[in-house]
C-alpha cells in the first residue's frame, strides 16, 4: 500500500545545517524559507556536541533544482556555518512519533499485536488508550502510522526529521573554529 504520505516520505530530500546558536537564527531560517516560497516538509532543531552550535535538519519535498536553491539561499545566511544535501550521501535518518490511540476491549489486543509487528513501543496505557512510540527512518514512520490509522488516532506528536551523514569528516558541529560552508552573502 502506498499512500501519498508514504510516497512523499520516499522522495523527500534531506538537508542538514549547522548554525550558530544565536537568538533569532531560527527566525532567519524559517523567514528565508517562507519568503522564497520553499516547500519545506519538516524542520527540526537541536544542539550539537559543541556549545553555541545547533543542527537543523530540513526535509524538502521538491526536485533537485529547488533543493539547490534552498541550500544556496540558506548558505547566504551568515549564521549558517555549513549546509549539506545528504540525499545522495550515506546517512542515517530518524524520526520519532508519539501516537495516542483510542482502544476498547474489542480492538485492544489487535492494536497491541499491530504495534508489536511495526516495532512500536507502548509507553503508557489504560483501559481506553495507548500511547505508542514509533521511531525509525521517515518512510518507516509513515508506513507505521498508515497501519495504525485503522485504529483511532486521537493525537499525534512528531519530532520532525533528524539526519547525520556517515562521513568521517569532522564538521563544524564537532570542531569549533573550522571554516566551512559560508556564502556570498
The yes or no reply on residue 49 touching another protein (CB under 8 A) is no
Query: Mask of contacts with another protein, 156-185, x by CB under 8 A?
Result: ----------------x----xxxxxxxxx
| Among the listed residues 81, 36, 76, 27, the one whose alpha carbon sits nearest the alpha carbon of residue 60 | 36
Nearest approach in angstroms of CB 103 to another protein is 45
**Continuous H helices in the chain:** 4-11, 25-35, 64-76, 108-118, 138-148
- Tell me: does residue 23 bind another protein (CB under 8 A): yes
Site string for another protein, 76-95 (x = CB under 8 A): xxxxxxx-------------
Nearest to 60 by CA among 76, 72, 71: 71
Please pick, from the candidates 3, 10, 31, 47, the single residue that binds another protein as defined by CB under 8 A.
31
Position 65 contacts another protein (CB under 8 A): yes
CA 47/CA 58 separation, integer angstroms: 15
Q: Does 63 bind another protein (CB under 8 A)?
A: no
Contact 26, 77 (CB under 8 A): no
Q: How far is the CB of 122 from another protein (least distance, A)?
A: 42
Signed CA dihedral, 46, 48, 54, 55: sign only: negative
Give the integer Cα–Cα distance in Å for 66 and 12.
12
69 sits near another protein (criterion: CB under 8 A): yes
For the chain, state the CA radius of gyration: 19
* Distance from C-alpha of 17 to C-alpha of 162, rounded to nearest angstrom: 11
Which part of the chain contacts another protein (CB under 8 A), choosing from 68-76, 87-95, 98-106, 133-141? 68-76
Nearest-approach distance from CB 7 to another protein, in angstroms: 26
Say whether residue 133 binds another protein (CB under 8 A): no
Which positions touch another protein (CB under 8 A)? 19-20, 23-24, 27-28, 31, 35, 65, 68-69, 72-73, 75-82, 172, 177-185
Amino acid at each position: 500500500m502506498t499512500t501519498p504520505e508514504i510516497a512523499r516520505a520516499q522522495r523527500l530530500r534531506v538537508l542538514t545545517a549547522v548554525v550558530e546558536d544565536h537568538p533569532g537564527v531560527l527566525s532567519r531560517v524559517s523567514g528565508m524559507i517562507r519568503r522564497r516560497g520553499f516547500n519545506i516538509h519538516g524542520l527540526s532543531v537541536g544542539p550539537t556536541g559543541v556549545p553555541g552550535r545547533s543542527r537543523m535538519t530540513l526535509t524538502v519535498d521538491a526536485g533537485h533544482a529547488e533543493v539547490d536553491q534552498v541550500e544556496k539561499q540558506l548558505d547566504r545566511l551568515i549564521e549558517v556555518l555549513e549546509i549539506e544535501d545528504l540525499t545522495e550521501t550515506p546517512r542515517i535518518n530518524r524520526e520519532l512519533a508519539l501516537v495516542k490511540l483510542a482502544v476498547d476491549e474489542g480492538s485492544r489486543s489487535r492494536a497491541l499485536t499491530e504495534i508489536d509487528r511495526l516495532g512500536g513501543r507502548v509507553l503508557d496505557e489504560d483501559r481506553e488508550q495507548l500511547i505508542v512510540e514509533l521511531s525509525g527512518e521517515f518512510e518507516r514512520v509513515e508506513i507505521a502510522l498508515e497501519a495504525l490509522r485503522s485504529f483511532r488516532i486521537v493525537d499525534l506528536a512528531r519530532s520532525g526529521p533528524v539526519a547525520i551523514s556517515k562521513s568521517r569528516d569532522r564538521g563544524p558541529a564537532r570542531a569549533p573554529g573550522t571554516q566551512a560552508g559560508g556564502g556570498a552573502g
